[in-house]
């Protein structure tokens, strides 16, 4: 093989917590000394700091990929690394690298003296690569075993950003009193049929802020808090429920599971009347001529600003054709009439009694928990193989989780009180718009709007709109 004239040096270190790059600097120095002895000219250095190349790493190595691309394109004709485990710790990746070298003919050398020009040299290099992969996998096994032991002792994983409700730097071992009380208060609100949006408003008014970014709360951020198993003191390992935390936590396991039942019931596909809207009856108004959905917008004419609803010629109607554009009406009068219809319907409604619980699962839960404790005792005494233990534990944990979910649903049904829909309806705050629209969707299916002509001074006639209640037939509109 001809002497390379454009050599690339690849240097990598798995962890550099201080970011000083001392490890890759030492590797680069040794590689340059090797190139001087071989009289190879260095063209470029490819540094990859704080990047793992093990079989357990999921992060890509863009610098390594760029180096191979340059070798394929002929920009460099040689590669030098400190040792084979700096290049890769994956035997499959090493095999691919050797195939790339054979196909494109670039030189390769390490400071440890491996030779890839002969079959014996490639075999030795492959063996070293296999040893490097084995070391990584054994290290991963030791770490995973240590982590599992910590989880079995009730010590949760404490990595990542600070979790709301826990003190900064406490590794989930100490509660932040004010935030923990806010979480408990939010739990009671959810049990009383309040929404995550109500909790967000309460926390914002109390001056609480999110741990990351110190920003205001919204629905999604509140849900993330209550979806976190750490809030309920649940310790997990690789997605499996291992047990309960030995440290204090804002909610009990039962309370956390009750919250999941509430949030799961609310996590239904968005229906008519839901979604972020600016106007109360957006999506409910249809053109009386072509049946296409009418639009609502603010308009300013001759210095007067008002809301209007109109049939847009670009809107697709019920028959698949574009809107007729014949209807253009003031929106406020229509909204006032529809509000009267909704309030009259809500006044007639009577609260529905809650159904009594149909099953008591406490006995089954206690038996399953006892089986798990007995299984764990046998495993700790060395009477069970690891594989049998984890298979049995996974099965029992699945049964226990299903039982607790059923029990949580029962508790939620018992604790809930029928909401006063009329009180919710009369709260016309913009923050309450989505809840009011949901109430409308339970009363009104749609409202047909007809044209009243131009230049009218008197209020429109009542028959200029036609209201179709939920569940009504085409021939039976609301009077």
Q: Residue 469: enclosing H or E segment and its boundaries?
A: strand 465-469
Q: Provide the pLDDT for residue 417.
A: 40
As a whole number of angstroms, the distance between CA 170 and CA 150 comes to: 16
Q: Computed from CA positions of residues 369, 375, 378, 380, in that sequence, does the dihedral angle turn out positive or negative? A: negative
The pLDDT confidence band at residue 448, using thresholds 50, 70 and 90, is: very high
Q: 479 pLDDT exceeds 50? A: no
In the chain, the N- to C-terminal Cα span, in Å, equals: 94
Which residue in 320, 308, 314, 318 sits closest to 288, CA to CA? 318
Q: Cα–Cα–Cα angle for 464, 468, 473, nearest 5°?
A: 125
Q: Token digits for 422?
A: 């009329």
pLDDT at residue 180 in the model: 92
Q: Which residue in this structure is represented by tokens 């004239």?
A: 5
Q: 3-state DSSP call for residue 110?
A: strand
Tokens, residue 61: 């190595």
For residue range 142-193, what is the model confidence (pLDDT) as tens digits? 766 666 666 666 677 766 678 898 888 887 888 999 999 999 999 999 888 8
Helix (H) or strand (E) holding 459: none
Spatial contact of 253 and 243, defined as CB atoms under 8 Å apart: no
From the CA atom positions of the chain, what is the Rg in Å? 34
DSSP run (H or E) holding 53: none
Sorting pLDDT into bands at 50, 70 and 90, what band is 420?
low
What distance in Å separates the CA atoms of residue 159 and residue 170, rounded to the nearest whole number? 11
Confidence at residue 309, expressed as pLDDT on a 0 to 100 scale? 92
């Amino acid at each position: 093989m001809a002497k390379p004239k454009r050599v690339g040096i690849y240097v990598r270190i798995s962890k550099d917590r201080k970011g000083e790059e001392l490890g890759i600097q030492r590797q680069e120095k040794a590689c340059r000394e090797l190139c001087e002895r071989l009289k190879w000219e260095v063209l470029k250095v490819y540094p990859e700091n704080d990047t793992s190349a093990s079989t357990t790493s999921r992060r890509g190595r863009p610098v390594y990929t760029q180096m191979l691309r340059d070798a394929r394109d002929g920009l460099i004709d040689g590669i030098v690394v400190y040792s084979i485990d700096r290049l890769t710790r994956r035997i499959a990746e090493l095999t691919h690298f050797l195939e790339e070298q054979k196909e494109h003919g670039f030189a390769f050398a390490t400071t440890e003296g491996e030779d890839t020009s002969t079959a014996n040299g490639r075999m030795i290099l492959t063996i070293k690569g296999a040893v490097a992969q084995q070391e990584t996998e054994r290290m991963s096994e030791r770490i995973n075993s240590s982590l599992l032991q910590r989880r079995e002792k009730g010590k949760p994983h404490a990595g990542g950003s600070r979790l709301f409700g826990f003190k900064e730097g406490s590794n989930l071992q100490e509660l932040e009193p004010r935030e923990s009380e806010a979480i408990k208060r939010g739990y009671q609100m959810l049990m009383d049929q309040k929404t995550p949006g109500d909790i967000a408003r309460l926390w914002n008014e109390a001056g609480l802020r999110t741990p990351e970014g110190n920003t205001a709360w919204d629905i999604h951020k509140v849900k993330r808090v209550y979806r976190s198993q750490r809030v309920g003191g649940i310790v997990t390992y690789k997605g499996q429920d291992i047990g309960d935390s030995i440290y204090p936590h804002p909610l009990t396991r039962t309370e956390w599971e009750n919250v999941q039942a509430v949030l799961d019931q609310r996590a239904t596909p968005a229906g008519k009347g839901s979604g972020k809207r600016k106007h109360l009856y957006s999506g409910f108004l249809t053109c009386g001529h072509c049946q296409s959905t009418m639009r609502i917008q603010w308009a300013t004419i001759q210095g007067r600003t008002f809301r209007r609803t109109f049939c847009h010629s670009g809107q697709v109607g019920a028959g698949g054709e574009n809107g007729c554009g014949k209807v253009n009406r003031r929106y406020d009068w229509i909204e006032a009439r529809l509000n009267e219809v909704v309030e009259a319907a809500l006044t007639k409604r009577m609260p529905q009694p809650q159904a009594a619980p149909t099953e008591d699962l406490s006995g089954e839960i206690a038996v399953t928990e006892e089986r798990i404790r007995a299984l764990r005792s046998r495993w700790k005494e060395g009477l069970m193989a690891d594989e049998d233990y984890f298979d049995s534990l996974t099965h029992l944990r699945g049964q226990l989780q299903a039982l607790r979910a059923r029990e949580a649903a029962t508790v939620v049904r018992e604790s809930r009180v029928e909401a006063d829909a009329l009180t919710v309806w009369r709260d016309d705050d913009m923050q309450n718009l989505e809840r009011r629209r949901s109430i409308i969707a339970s009363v009104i299916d749609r409202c047909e709007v007809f044209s009243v002509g131009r230049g009218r001074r008197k209020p429109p006639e009542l028959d200029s709109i036609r209201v179709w209640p939920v569940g009504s037939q085409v021939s039976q509109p609301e009077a």
